[in-house]
Amino acid sequence: MRKPLNPRFQLPDERDMTGARVDDLPVPVSKLVPVDETTGRRLNRPHGRRLVVIAAAIAVVLVYLKTATEYSIGSVTKPAPGSYPFVSGVILLVGLVLMAFDRRREPERQLVETIPITVALRVRRLVRPVVLVGACLAYILLLRYVGDTTAAAGLGFVILIAFGEAIWRAIPLAIGIAFLAHYLFVVLLGVPLGKGSTLW
Amino acid sequence: MIHQLLTGFGNALSWENFLAALAGAFIGTAIGVLPGMSPTVAIALLLVPTLKMPGESGLVLLSAVFFGTQYGDSVTAILLDVPSEPASIVIALDGYPMTKKGRHGPALALAAFGSFCGAVIGLAGLALFAHTFSKYVFQFGPVEIAALAGCGLLILVRASGTRLAAGLVALGLGLVLPTIGLDPALGTTRFTFGWTVLYQGLDLIPVALGLVGVAELIENALDPTRLRHRGGKVPLRSLVPARAEIREAAGASVRGGVLGFLLGLLPGPTLTMSSFASYRLERLLSRHPERFGHGAVAGVAGPKAADDAAVSGNLASLLTLGIPFSPVTGVLYAGFILHGITPGPLFIQSSPDLFWGLIAAMLVGNVALLVLNVPFISIWIWLIRIPTRILSVILALFILIGSFSVRNSQWDMLVTLMAGVLGVLLRRAGIDRTVVLVALILGPVLEENFRESMSASGGHLSIFLSRPISLVIVSITVGILIASAAFQILGRLGALPRQRLADGA
């Protein structure tokens, strides 16, 4: 049996409309989609969301292609510095455009479409990954100021708490893992990690 | 060839290399059983630690880690139905039903047996391929390499099994990312926007660690229910399979080994392809196809053998051509370079002792896997029981420091983190990250050699059809693409009447 989440980090809206806890749902949370409880219609339809992401990606690729043309394109038989990036960008662009017109959905999404789940529950799912990425980012940025052991202990503590570990266990665990990493990489392998390491 | 191989065994059995093979097999399995850990991440994490070792021993260790991780992944697939790599999904199809029937001991033993058979067949194939190829080594120039890289990318998009749009996006992304940095021909900067940190470009290791390792960590954080299973006890006595099971597994392993090696020679996710192909072949040949999916022994041993033999096929292109056809061989290639050894056409000629020593050491490593790993099954199960939250902290730290240690750059850590987020988005969009990584490796090879070919031929594209080896490569690629398109069309034509029948029309 999985340990229950740390009560401090359980949000009040962790339960869906039926009163089920996120961990008691019949399918993995990743397969669930938000549905408006009154009308039963899907909120924030995946294809619409996908189109927004694809449009943003296309915009980035267009900027990339514009930059590539500034390096001189040359020709197929006389390639210049910009020719290979240009061709690569065109392949990416074609793929993205084709993807925008591809409306076929993944079969498992259709299967779970009718399971009601609140938007808040979906937001709740994002807490752990956001904390994980944020903790890693903080570790990278703080490394040169506070040293590797302190930064690693901080990273460990934040992730452990976010994953539901009790504070009294999270502190020694985080410190232990930080010292283990320091001994392994800095002492044994001589990786120049720590205060004074440059960001760029 | 036999003489060279015997010399190789002499090298492999030196105490440093022997210990490296044993350690690599053990560490590889230990990492492989951890959820979400793939051979790519395992080798990338161990690159820097091996720099303290002599070059040959370091490479022996990394190669043994490759095989060890493959075996470790099958342990979690069989016991928990949690495969980390797509190739192990097939092994879980029959391995996990065997576990549910209480036959997990024989399933693990037969997977180890299949793995060993596949590795032996694959390494024999690798030795034979390398021996034959060494006769043509000097005919391989920029034209042939450009043809191979370009054709490899085309096959990759077809072989990835995703939709055309997703394949093109993956290919395009993989080709675009390495354009950041210095132009390989003229040395001018591209897409650096004045940032000196971008002059060196994006290194493969941080990107691979992010796309595979960090992405898995984020996925686990998104859905911790993925890893909620825990393994039970496996007494040593329960590992002994029945005679009939051994007979069934032996045939499947030999067939899987041959099929896996041949498919492993192709670029792309060939480990997965070979496992699936072997499974389908075994079901086709079986007298009891209805047993597949419910605990068929051939469904475990065959795909496992194919998976391990494909590793040797992957290594063949790396060691003989110097072109990594998969993400894991790309990371291994980086390991070779860090140890001051450049694999490629001249590698076998200039360092025959190292080449044959490496093959012999891999064989020794596989014997070690068979002899040591099955009795150590309790240790692997103990590793599986480490709580996800503790594992996430350890892996996050190891991945970030592993990324830093390649160039001692915090920028690479940021690249790893960004690649991790990108990896999750790609996975959600159904885009194969393997294709992105292989394109990332092959892209610069293609660009550099294509420009050299055009420069040497005076801008004539016909050079790719006028040189015999490149003509063969182009012809085989066209053949594969036509055959694949034809099979797809025939499949659709066949599916239509079946669909109408099912609809009652």
B102-141 residues touching A, CB cutoff 8 A? none
CA end-to-end distance (rounded Å), chain B: 63
Tokens of B303: 């795909």
**Weakest-pLDDT range from A14-18, A126-130, B91-95:** A14-18
Q: What is the pLDDT of residue A108?
A: 40
Q: Which residues have a Cβ under 8 Å from the Cβ of B501 and sit 6 or more positions away?
A: none
pLDDT, mean of residues A41-58: 73
Count of CB atoms situated within 10 Å of the CB of B305: 36
Q: Is the pLDDT of residue A18 over 80?
A: no
**More confident position, A193 or B397:** B397
Give B192→chain A minimum CA distance, Å: 11
Question: CB–CB of A85/B162 below 8 Å?
Answer: no
Q: What is the pLDDT of residue A64?
A: 92
pLDDT (tens digit per residue) in A150-163: 999 999 999 999 88
Asked if B169 reaches chain A (Cβ–Cβ under 8 Å), the answer is: yes
CB–CB contact B179 A88 (8 Å): yes
Please report, for residues B22, B314, B365, the alpha-carbon distance to residue B368 in angstroms, rounded to integers and kept in the order given.
6, 21, 5
pLDDT bin (cut points 50, 70, 90) of residue A5 is: very low
CB–CB contact B393 A79 (8 Å): no
Question: Residue B79 — left, alpha, or beta (φ > 0 → left; ψ -120 to 50 → alpha)?
Answer: alpha
Q: What is the pLDDT of residue B481?
A: 81
Residues in chain A: 200
Q: Output the 3-class SS for B398-424.
A: HHHHHHHHHHCCHHHHHHHHHHHHHHH
Question: Residue A20 — left, alpha, or beta (φ > 0 → left; ψ -120 to 50 → alpha)?
Answer: beta
Residue B29 DSSP code: H
pLDDT bin (cut points 50, 70, 90) of residue A123 is: low
Half-sphere exposure in the Cβ direction for B173 (13 Å, CA): 26
Q: Which helix (H) or strand (E) holds B189?
A: strand B189-190
Q: What is the pLDDT of residue B148?
A: 83
Q: What is the pLDDT of residue B161?
A: 61
pLDDT (tens digit per residue) in B262-312: 888 877 667 777 888 888 888 888 888 888 888 888 888 888 899 888 888
Count of CB atoms situated within 10 Å of the CB of B6: 11
Tokens of A41: 């219609």
Tokens of A28: 């993995």
Q: Output the 3-class SS for chain A.
A: CCCCCCHHHCCHHHCCCCCCCHHHCCCCHHHCCCECCCCCCECCCHHHHHHHHHHHHHHHHHHHHHHHHCCCCECCCCECCCHHHHHHHHHHHHHHHHHHHCCCCCHHHHHCCCCCCCHHHHHHHCHHHHHHHHHHHHHHHHHHHHCHHHHHHHHHHHHHHHCCCCHHHHHHHHHHHHHHHHHHHHHHCCCCCCCCCCCC
CA end-to-end distance (rounded Å), chain A: 45
pLDDT, mean of residues A129-137: 93
Question: CB–CB of B345/B148 below 8 Å?
Answer: no
Q: Is the pLDDT of residue A134 over 70?
A: yes
In angstroms, the CA A20 to CA A72 distance is 60
Q: What is the pLDDT of residue B282?
A: 86
| Dihedral, A160, A162, A163, A168 alpha carbons, nearest 10 | 40
Which residue, B108, B408, B140, B125, is CA-closest to B260? B125
> Does the predicted interface ipTM exceed a cut of 0.90?
no
In terms of DSSP H, where are the helices of B33-141?
39-50, 55-80, 87-100, 104-133
In angstroms, the CA B402 to CA B396 distance is 10
Tokens of B407: 């160039």
Question: CB–CB of B347/B355 below 8 Å?
Answer: yes
In angstroms, the CA B192 to CA B205 distance is 20
Give A116→chain B minimum CA distance, Å: 18
Average pLDDT, whole number, for chain B? 81
Give A169→chain B minimum CA distance, Å: 11
Q: What is the pLDDT of residue A19?
A: 43
Q: Name which of A30, A88, A181 is nearest B172 (Cβ-Cβ).
A: A88
pLDDT (tens digit per residue) in B309-331: 888 888 888 888 777 878 888 88
Half-sphere exposure in the Cβ direction for B42 (13 Å, CA): 33
Counting residues of chain B whose pLDDT is more than 70, the rounded percentage is 91
Best probe of the A interface among B173, B401, B457, by most A CBs < 10 A, is: B401
Tokens of B36: 């979400």
Chain B CB contacts of A75 under 8 Å are 459
Give B349→chain A minimum CA distance, Å: 33
Q: What is the pLDDT of residue B294?
A: 82
Q: Is the pLDDT of residue A9 over 60?
A: no
Q: What is the pLDDT of residue B238?
A: 66
Asked if B173 reaches chain A (Cβ–Cβ under 8 Å), the answer is: yes
pLDDT (tens digit per residue) in B115-152: 889 888 988 888 888 878 777 777 778 888 888 888 88
Give the residue on B whose Cα is nearest the Cα of A25: B225
Residue B240 DSSP code: P
CB–CB contact A71 B188 (8 Å): yes
pLDDT bin (cut points 50, 70, 90) of residue A139 is: very high
Q: What is the pLDDT of residue B416?
A: 92
CB–CB contact B410 A165 (8 Å): no
Question: CB–CB of B74/B91 below 8 Å?
Answer: yes
CB–CB contact A94 B224 (8 Å): no
| Dihedral, B116, B118, B121, B126 alpha carbons, nearest 10 | -110
Q: Which residues of chain B carry a pLDDT beneath 50?
A: 504-505
Average pLDDT, whole number, for chain A? 73
Chain B CB contacts of A162 under 8 Å are 221
What does B296-307 look like in DSSP terms, one character per residue? -SHHHHHHHHHH
Chain A CB contacts of B222 under 8 Å are 29-30, 125-126, 128-129
**More confident position, B381 or A7:** B381
Q: What is the pLDDT of residue A45?
A: 54
In angstroms, the CA A157 to CA B111 distance is 39
In angstroms, the CA B219 to CA B227 distance is 11
CB–CB contact B197 A137 (8 Å): no
Chain A CB contacts of B218 under 8 Å are 129, 132-133
| Dihedral, B485, B487, B489, B492 alpha carbons, nearest 10 | -140
Give the residue on B whose Cα is nearest the Cα of A148: B401
Q: What is the pLDDT of residue B233?
A: 63
Q: Which residues have a Cβ under 8 Å from the Cβ of B244 and sit 6 or more positions away?
A: none
Q: Name which of B223, B394, B410 is nearest A30 (Cβ-Cβ).
A: B223
Q: What is the pLDDT of residue A15?
A: 41
CB–CB contact A91 B167 (8 Å): no
Q: What is the pLDDT of residue B147?
A: 87
CB–CB contact B393 A173 (8 Å): yes
Q: Which residues have a Cβ under 8 Å from the Cβ of B365 and sit 6 or more positions away?
A: B21, B22, B24, B25, B60, B63, B64, B67, B68
- What's the angle, vertex CA B439, arms to CA B434 and CA B441, rounded to 5? 100
Q: What is the pLDDT of residue A8?
A: 38
Stated pTM of the model? 0.78
pLDDT (tens digit per residue) in A97-117: 998 887 654 444 433 444 445
CB–CB contact A92 B404 (8 Å): no
Asked if B401 reaches chain A (Cβ–Cβ under 8 Å), the answer is: yes
Counting residues of chain A whose pLDDT is more than 70, the rounded percentage is 62
CB–CB contact B411 A93 (8 Å): no
